[in-house]
Amino acid sequence: MKGNEAIAEAAIIAGCRHYFGYPITPQTEIAAYMAKRMPKIGGCFLQAESEIAAINMVYGVAATGKRVMTSSSSPGISLKGEGISYLAGADLPSLIVNVQRGGPGLGGIQPSQSDYFQATKGTAHGDFHMLVLAPASVQEMADLTVKGFELADKYRMTAMVLADGTMGQMMEPVSLDYEVKNTVEKPWATTGTNMEREHNIVNSLFLSPEKLEEENFKRYDRYKLIEENETMYEEYMMEDAEICVSAFGIASRVAKNAINEAREMGIKVGLIRPITLWPFPKAPFKKAGEKVKSIISVELSMGQMIEDIRLASECKVPVTLCNRAGGMIPTPEQVLEAIINANNGGAK
Amino acid sequence: MVVFDKPHALTDVSMHYCPGCTHGIIHRLVAEVIDELGIEGKTIGIAPVGCSVMAYDYFNCDMIEAAHGRAPAVATGVKRALPENVVFTYQGDGDLASIGMAETVHSAARNENITIIFVNNAIYGMTGGQMAPTTLPEQVTQTSPYGRDVNHCGFPIKVCEMLATLDGPEYLERVAVNNVKNVKAAKKAIKKAFQNQVEGKGFSLIEVVSSCPTNWGMTPKKALEWVEEKMIPYYPLGVYKDRSAKEEN
Amino acid sequence: MAKLTFKTDKCKGCGLCVDVCPKNVLALANDKINKKGHHPVEAVNEADCIGCAFCATMCPDCIIKVER
């Protein structure tokens, strides 16, 4: 199954019956899949007039308490920024998929990870976060989609599956056997009062600064719980590692190949792969900062996650960048060279 | 016998509008229609950005606050999720005809089964009286201080006329609330727009020509006279589209 | 004869009701100020009221109840 299709089918299994989107490469298979499947299962696929309309349709369905999603690629996510901020301000759950391509501007259509900052920090205006889930296999594309819906409901926030063009197009076998949790009560939903309760208001406007501050503090209390309970990462050969490589998504697969080769050469190197980019897995990097010689961040960008690695490892060891950008992917040889360099004690 | 009282669908919250602002009349008409159709319990309203941003406090039905111009997209989502419910948006001219024009046109083209109450008072009220897409030629506003120069910033947009060129929408009517007769006609149109939705007929938009005494710099009474003398001649009242009536004929 | 009840504290003194009344029943109370700081409407001539509810129809703040 293709990565993009795995996401779409997993969303349906997770109980999502409403999808809104606007065509953009390289994620169009998600929309195409939904267009075929939704009418057959009583769901709704609607091609919106713009990314902005699509995210606001998501906002409308989310306000009724139903599971809903949209997907896009980098430039489209920029357009959705406004709506994502309103979703955050109104504490509405939703799932957004970003199959990243190179930027800035119209950029290109080849894979990229240059929306890391956008996803984890600068999505749009105001104090808020999205849950950001970074799959590294087609199986994880599906798994994290299901997980994303569950966490979004649990914490009343947007979850983003942050993939890239390679992950979207890649084909791998997938198991879609889930016990989906869809039991979160949503007493806040606007479903009509039925003349049985006070009216519900879904809203992000708070003109009183005291009230708005209170809303923000409440939201960040929830974020703290997420950081404590939902942070996910994978460690690979880190037990005795002297060099730490860090990468997420497709970059982590390249990095693993290079690590295997380096291990054969006798270099003690391991991998930390963040699965949640927000919340960022700070603990393993703090630990690494205390025992490894240096950390290499492998990214399909000009170096974005590297800033979080430096913070999490408290700058105790050098953190270097091994990257390609603009739609290019680092080769295992390039990563291996960086590992050898680091092992020889030199930042390149 | 009670001849007139506040409708149930309006809350007791005191509205923030300026003295003599006709938003209050239009809110009441919507609430009266909701009462008369007995749909308060299943109605979900979408508030805009602009003067009526806090409409969510004034209606007793469930309410959602949308981003500027996006109410028709939000309404689309709600209606697709809850097709048995009644969904309306309440939007001003900047919201609906400027920043949200794409959402307006495309929800109309889809014949989305929703009701839109479009309040046209030819100005951005909430931000202090800037030029709107419906500001009349020569009209003075904060951002057209020498009067709207159509050679510089173009002509006003006539929303009903424009949407009437589409095959999609079911019902388009322009009404006004500047006198008792027009208020009564406005209510009739709004009722039809909600009734259409209940009957599954599709997209209904009622454009309500309204006033803004504060930003027009007039007394409430003078502002209503200005509606009659200036606004209505440029924005003629009437039914611009009524597909079901046409099919019946 | 009709009966008028006003939610005086909600009145913004816009005067639209005063202008529309065909029997000159209403006036703004220039000697009174309500909680909102406006001169509220009052019935100065209620005996003449015919209960047409034109005043309530034009009131933007829904403060007038009309009974007949």
Does residue A168 share a domain with residue A266? no
pLDDT at res. A181: 86
Does residue A260 share a domain with residue A222? no
Does residue A167 share a domain with residue A255? no
Kindly provide the b/e burial profile for residues B201-212, where b requires at least 16 CB atoms within 10 angstroms of the residue's own CB. bbbbbbbbbbbb
More confident residue, A181 or A224: A224
Q: What is the CATH number of the domain that holds A57?
A: 3.40.50.970
The C-alpha atoms of residue B122 and residue B137 are separated, in whole angstroms, by 10
Q: In the structure encoding, which two tokens stand for residue A267, read together?
A: 């270099």
| pLDDT tens readout for residues A108-130 | 999 999 999 999 998 999 999 99
Number of compact structural domains in chain C: 1
pLDDT at res. A182: 87
Number of compact structural domains in chain A: 2
Mean pLDDT on A240-262: 98
**Do chains A and C touch by CB distance (3+ pairs < 8 Å)?**
no
The C-alpha atoms of residue B213 and residue B89 are separated, in whole angstroms, by 24
Amino acid at position A143, single letter? D
Does residue A249 share a domain with residue A144? no
Q: Return the number of other C-beta atoms located less than 10 Å from residue B14's C-beta.
A: 17
**Domain interval for residue C40:** 3-67
Q: Return the number of other C-beta atoms located less than 10 Å from residue B239's C-beta.
A: 15
Mean pLDDT on B190-200: 98
pLDDT, averaged across chain B:
97
pLDDT at res. A348: 43
**pTM for this predicted structure:** 0.97
Mean pLDDT on C42-65: 97
Does residue A187 share a domain with residue A62? yes
Mapped to the 3 state alphabet, what secondary structure does A127-180 carry?
CCCCEEECCCCHHHHHHHHHHHHHHHHHHCCEEEEEEEHHHHHCECCCCCCCCC
pLDDT class of C23 with cuts at 50, 70, 90: very high
pLDDT at res. B246: 82
Q: What is the CATH number of the domain that holds A301?
A: 3.40.50.920
| pLDDT tens readout for residues B23-37 | 999 999 999 999 999
Mean pLDDT on A221-225: 98
Mean pLDDT on A272-299: 98
Number of compact structural domains in chain B: 1
pLDDT at res. A264: 98
Q: Tell me the shortest Cα–Cα distance from B139 to chain A, in angstroms.
A: 31
| pLDDT tens readout for residues B132-189 | 999 999 999 999 999 999 999 999 999 999 999 999 999 999 999 999 999 999 999 9
Tokens 């005043």 belong to C55
Number of Cα atoms under 13 Å in the Cβ half of residue C48? 9
Q: In the structure encoding, which two tokens stand for residue A202, read together?
A: 């879904």
Determine phi and psi for A69, rounding to 5 degrees.
Answer: -145, 165
All partners of chain C with 3 or more CB pairs under 8 angstroms: B
How many percent of chain C have pLDDT more than 90? 99
**Domain interval for residue B61:** 23-248
Mean pLDDT on A85-99: 98
**Do chains B and A touch by CB distance (3+ pairs < 8 Å)?**
yes
pLDDT at res. A224: 98
A126 at interface of B, judged by CB pairs closer than 8 A:
no
Q: For residue B11, tell me if it sits in a domain.
A: no
Q: What is the CATH number of the domain that holds B200?
A: 3.40.50.970
Among A204, A229, A254, the domain-final residue is A229
Q: For residue B4, tell me if it sits in a domain.
A: no
Does residue A138 share a domain with residue A239? no
pLDDT at res. A139: 98
Residues near B192 by beta carbon (within 8 Å), at least 6 away in sequence: B171, B173, B204
Q: Which helix (H) or strand (E) holds B85?
A: none
Residue contact B78–A20, C-beta within 8 A = no
**Domain interval for residue A265:** 234-343
Does residue A217 share a domain with residue A240? no
The C-alpha atoms of residue A140 and residue A273 are separated, in whole angstroms, by 13
Cβ contacts from B onto C, under 8 A: 72
pLDDT class of C54 with cuts at 50, 70, 90: very high
| Residue of chain C whose alpha carbon sits nearest to that of B5 | C65
Does residue A70 share a domain with residue A109? yes
